[in-house]
Structure 1
Amino acid sequence: MTSVVSNIAPADAERAFQVVLRAFERDPMARWSFPDAQTYHDHFPVVIRALGGRSFAQGGAHEVDGYAGVALWLPPGVEPDHETLEALMTTSDPTPLQREVAAVVEQMAHYHPPEPHWFLPFIAVDPAHQHKGHGSTLLAHALRQCDRDHLPAYLESSNLANIPLYQRHGFEVLGTIQVGSSPPLTPMLRKAR
């Protein structure tokens, strides 16, 4: 059976956000940032919307096989909602973890390419559908657009286990971000073709 990738309409954003939420429940960086289940379910949806919410109006939100997986891409010139992210991280008395999260975010900014590029804040496959090639299908679909545009693609892998998948699609490791008790975060770039 051939997988079918479709654009996600803005009206269906919540369904896509739920796939990301389920897929990232065991993600090292997400769970380090929000260690207990209640905090994760209360706050990680805000992160998902802030990082990937602008992909829907831009044609950068894709789903595969009836939401078995989703990818939220931001095209060149479209930024995540930094104000919402900053508000989530800012309190009058930041905890040590919040300071470490802020330091990770600060380092992330150093790796973003200065030239126009497609940015992948989230690619997620529902745990019930993992290891069936859905992530690869979603990547290949969007990377064809990057190639048509002759633009690079950038992502930050929050799970070391996913790096080989990205490398198979032409991404190269730019470095490693690790602050205090954080798990490693791996910025990756696929050069323009």
Structure 2
Amino acid sequence: MAAAPEVKSADANVQAGAISTIVLGFATDPMARWAWPDPSVYLRTMPRFVNAFGGRAFEHGTAYITEGARAVALWLPPGVEPDEAEMDAIMEETLRPEISEDIGAVMKGMAEHHPLEPHWYLPVIATDPTWFGQGLGTLLMKHALRRCDEEGIAAYLESSNPRNISLYERHGFKITGRIQSGSSPVLTPMLRPASRAL
């Protein structure tokens, strides 16, 4: 029987490859493609956006990958935030003017739903589409949530793809609201309460 794939912390040496996996994994994501429907704009912008949104995970040893960076999860530890100034700059440069008001409302909704208590935040998790259905996302979730339980700290995410909600629910996340504005797809905030490992 083959050994289960290993989860490792990704450092700066594999950062570009890990971000490429996320870009591939989000190629059909409703929110990402609403923001950047033009393929060349998406491919040019998404790596920068992912780095601003979750890239600080690489600095903290909390960017987790499976072998060959086939699946990647960027977790931000309690107190570590996305680079909002860079995210704003990217969106100002690249977004179509007709959606800027709706994006602003979505970002405001994200800020309002963010828990106030200390928590681990998952800005992005993605699998290279070639490796969908192999359980790699589940493996990454279990790896990170084990640490949340050891520390007795909550975990939080926003699901930008309705297809992934059941995966998160299986790992103890509960829907805490709904974020949507105008033409935007729905973003679903989800919280996994703090619990201690037994």
What is the TM-score when the length of structure 2 is the normalising length? 0.94
Cα deviation 1:116-136 (Å, max 9, x = unaligned): 100000100000000110000
Uncovered stretches (5+) of structure 1, i.e. residues with no partner: none
Q: Over aligned residues, Cα RMSD in angstroms?
A: 1.3
Residue 133 (structure 1) aligns with: 135
What does residue 103 of structure 1 align with?
A: 105
Q: How far apart are 1:66 and its partner, in Å?
A: 2.1
Structure 2 counterpart of 1:33, one-letter code: A
Work out the percentage of aligned pairs sharing the same amino acid.
46
Tell me the secondary structure at the aligned position of residue 108 of structure 2: helix
| 4+ aligned runs moved over 4 Å, structure 1 | none
Matches within 5 A, 1:171-186: 171-186=173-188
- Aligned counterpart in structure 1 of residue 156 of structure 2, from 154, 179, 182: 154
Q: In 1, distance between residues paired with 2:13 and 2:186? A: 34
The count of residues paired between Structure 1 and Structure 2 equals 192
Residue in 1 aligned with 2:17? Answer: 15
Mind listing any 5+ residue stretches in structure 2 that lack a counterpart? none
SS at match of 2:118: coil
Which of 43, 46, 58 is the aligned partner of 2:45? Answer: 43
Per-residue displacement from partner, 1:26-57 (whole Å, max 9, x unpaired)? 00000000011011012111210001110011
CA distance in 1, matches of 2:96, 2:34: 16
Q: Is the 8 A contact 1:69 1:124 kept in 2?
A: yes
After TM superposition, the score normalised by the length of structure 1 is 0.96
1:99 Cα deviation from its structure 2 partner: 1.7
Match of 1:28 among 13, 27, 30: 30
